Amino acid sequence: MQQILFILVSGAALFFAGRQFSKIRSTILLGKDVELISDPSQRLKNTLLVAFGQKKMFKRWIPAILHLFIYVAFLFTSLELIEIFIDGFSGQHRFLAPYLGGLYTVIISTIEILSVLALVATVIFLWRRNLLKVPRLVKPEMDGWPTLDANIILILEIFLVCAVFTMNGTDVVLQGLDPEHYPKTGNFAITSWLGPMLFGGFSQGTLVGLERAGWWIHILTVFAFLNYLPISKHLHIMLAFPNVYFSKLRSRGEMENMPAIMNEVKSMMGIIPESEVDMDAELPEFGANDVFGLSWVNMLNAFTCTECGRCTDVCPANTTGKKLSPRKVMMDIRDRATEISENISSGNIECAKDKEQPVSADNYDDGKSLFDYISREELHACTTCNACVEACPVMIDPLEPILALRRYEILTESAGPSEWLPMFTSIENSGSVWQVPNSREDWINS
């Protein structure tokens, strides 16, 4: 009966999780295609060092070490999870123990030690977020769901650790009472003494119930976590690896060029003759005003965002009290993309440009854009210093969408801050950002 229940529960959990992850993938692909520099060896190196090795996390040692405890515990607990699946489908108990022998004891002992460290880290993170109120964790964009989301995950981690110790602790006691069904597994680092201390006076029936409860709570928490990830910032657990792999390889300070504008400026400044510029060609739409104008890499960035706030913490504009928060920009892009994806998947005909055709990415207009989420004041505050890009532990680039939105505002809408207009006029008239009466080249002849 337990096997049948496990198969049904695991099948349902994996099915619904698969549907949600497929929807995330479709949402990310709402972004336009982009040509990436092909250098698999460098991309793999970045993935191993930054995503797997947590390299950039260690610019701040205290949260990095605490995060490492949880991260490594997660990796090692996955090994025990494999055995739980085998036991659940086969109906056996600790299937791997007889085959691995002493190595099994070492693996489970390591998991227990890491679980204790992860529990300590989890409690400290809860304290830092809710009592200490670390400034970068209590910015305005973190009000409501973002803070609740972080707390839910931390509480689930506590449930998971308690389930592991309940399962292992009762199992240690049962090994002495019923060795036929609970074979010896060696002395685990923590539960070999904690188990008898907590559960030593319980009856065998109670111990069996507690052992099964710990086992089920463990796997159900994992299933809940798996289905919760697609709506949580903790989606970065899975997306951090592809996000780092596909991050740009060129210099962080190098901005993407726009050939149409570049040729126009070169012609204006006499660098290339006007005859080489097709003046009758229809100008493209510059920049982006919605997620469709961003690249799928930008979209992947948004869904990978861990909301850690390191980007906002180092942003000079935010530090001086301006409205800009790079973290909020990425969160807004993710929220807007999710809204569009839900409207498309639901077939909301009110969001179709052509009401006679089904709503789709190519046939979408709900009367809103990213400018309804990200204010122009935020965009104008960015100094393009790349501090946010440098600070991100998973190589997210908030600057690219900020530039894309600014380009749309200035080049497509012919709008922008009034204080910028004299600079544009001066560049157009004299090729210089400063409004001076002399020609830019006069100093050469002086």
Task: Give the whole-angstrom CA distance, residue 188 versus residue 193.
Answer: 8
More confident residue, 270 or 18: 18
Digit-coded pLDDT (tens) for 291-343: 999 999 999 999 999 999 999 999 999 999 999 999 999 999 999 999 999 99
Asked if residue 437 has pLDDT above 70, the reply is no
Q: Are the C-beta atoms of 233 and 305 separated by less than 8 Å? A: yes
Distance from the first to the final alpha carbon of the chain: 94
Task: Give the whole-angstrom CA distance, residue 422 versus residue 419.
Answer: 7
Asked if residue 439 has pLDDT above 90, the reply is no
Task: Give the whole-angstrom CA distance, residue 294 versus residue 201.
Answer: 63
Asked if residue 365 has pLDDT above 80, the reply is yes
Percent of the chain exceeding pLDDT 70 equals 93
Confidence tier at 218 by pLDDT (50, 70, 90): very high
Confidence tier at 446 by pLDDT (50, 70, 90): low
Confidence tier at 138 by pLDDT (50, 70, 90): very high
Segment 33-49 mean pLDDT = 92
Q: Are the C-beta atoms of 143 and 327 separated by less than 8 Å? A: no
Distances (CA, A) of 288 to 6, 55, 316, 363, 395: 48, 32, 24, 17, 21
Confidence tier at 416 by pLDDT (50, 70, 90): confident
Asked if residue 163 has pLDDT above 90, the reply is yes
Task: Give the whole-angstrom CA distance, residue 251 versus residue 320.
Answer: 27
Q: Which two tokens stand for residue 35?
A: 């040509």
Segment 192-203 mean pLDDT = 93
| Three-state secondary structure of the chain | CHHHHHHHHHHHHHHHHHHHHHHHHHHHCCCECCCCCCCHHHHHHHHHHHHHCCHHHHHCHHHHHHHHHHHHHHHHHHHHHHHHHHHHHHCCCCCCHHHHCHHHHHHHHHHHHHHHHHHHHHHHHHHHHHHHCCHHHCCHHHCCHHHHHHHHHHHHHHHHHHHHHHHHHHHHHHHHHCCCCCCCCCCCCCHHHHHHHHHCCCCHHHHHHHHHHHHHHHHHHHHHHHHHHHHCHHHHHHHHHHHHHCCCCCCCCCCCCCHHHHHHHHHHCCCCCHHHCCCCCCCCCCCCCCHHHCEHHHHHHHHHCCCCCHHHHHCHHHHCCCCCCHHHHHHHHHHHHHHHHHHHHHCCHHHCCCCCCCCCCCCCCCCCCHHHCCCHHHHHHCCCCCHHHHHCCCCCCCHHHHHHHHHHHHHHCCCCCHHHHHHHHHHHHHCCCCCCCCCCCHHHHC
Task: Give the whole-angstrom CA distance, residue 247 versus residue 254.
Answer: 14
Segment 235-246 mean pLDDT = 95
Asked if residue 257 has pLDDT above 80, the reply is no
| pTM greater than the 0.85 cutoff | yes
Q: Which two tokens stand for residue 254?
A: 């190098």
Q: Which residues contact 293 (CB under 8 A, 6 or more apart)?
A: 32, 285, 287, 404, 408
Class (C level, CATH) for 285-415: mainly alpha
Segment 418-422 mean pLDDT = 82
Confidence tier at 424 by pLDDT (50, 70, 90): confident
Q: Which residues contact 191 (CB under 8 A, 6 or more apart)?
A: 112, 165, 168, 169, 171, 172
Asked if residue 165 has pLDDT above 90, the reply is yes
pLDDT at 278: 62
Q: Which two tokens stand for residue 368?
A: 């809103």
Segment 17-44 mean pLDDT = 93
Task: Give the whole-angstrom CA distance, residue 197 versus residue 101.
Answer: 25
> Is the CA virtual torsion 85, 86, 91, 96 positive or negative?
negative
Segment 225-251 mean pLDDT = 93
Strand partners, 295: 32
Q: Which two tokens stand for residue 93?
A: 């108990």
Digit-coded pLDDT (tens) for 72-118: 998 888 888 999 999 999 988 899 998 898 999 999 999 999 999 99
Asked if residue 16 has pLDDT above 90, the reply is yes
pLDDT at 170: 95
pLDDT at 244: 96
Domains of the chain by residue range? 2-233, 285-415
Digit-coded pLDDT (tens) for 305-314: 999 999 999 9
Which contacts (CB < 8 Å, 24+ apart) does range 31-36 have?
A: 31/291, 31/292, 31/294, 31/295, 31/296, 31/297, 31/298, 31/299, 31/300, 32/292, 32/293, 32/294, 32/295, 32/296, 33/295, 33/296, 34/295, 34/296, 34/297, 36/246, 36/248, 36/297
Asked if residue 412 has pLDDT above 90, the reply is no
Task: Give the whole-angstrom CA distance, residue 252 versus residue 390.
Answer: 8
pLDDT at 358: 93
- Where do we find the tokens 């336009």? 32
* Averaged confidence pLDDT in the chain: 90
pLDDT at 363: 95
Q: Which of 274-278, 320-324, 362-366, 380-384 has the lowest mean pLDDT?
A: 274-278
Confidence tier at 360 by pLDDT (50, 70, 90): very high
